Structure 1
Amino acid sequence: MADLSKMRQEYTSKGLEIEDLDKNPFKQFETWFNNALEAKLIEPNAFTLSTVGLDLKPSQRTVLLKMYDNTGFRFFSNYNSKKSEQIEQNPYVSAHFAWLGLERQVRIEGTIKKISKGESLKYFLSRPRGSQIGAWVSHQSQVVNSRTVLETKFDEMRKKFAKGEVPFPSFWGGYEIVPTYFEFWQGGLNRLHDRFVYELIDNNWEIYRLEP
Structure 2
Amino acid sequence: MPSAQPPVAVLSARGIHVSIAGSPVLRGVDLHGEPGAVTVIAGPNGAGKSTLLEVLAGTRAPSAGTIEDRSATRAFVPQRAAVSEALPLTLRDVVTIGAWGRAGPWRRLDRAARRAVDDAVERLDLAALQRSPFGALSGGQRQRALLAQGLARGADVLLLDEPTTALDADSAERILDAVRAEADRGAAVVCVSHDHALIDAADLVVRLEAGRVVAARRAVPSPRA
- Structure with higher strand content: 1
TM-score, normalization by structure 2 = 0.25
TM-score, normalization by structure 1 = 0.26
Q: Which has the larger radius of gyration?
A: 1
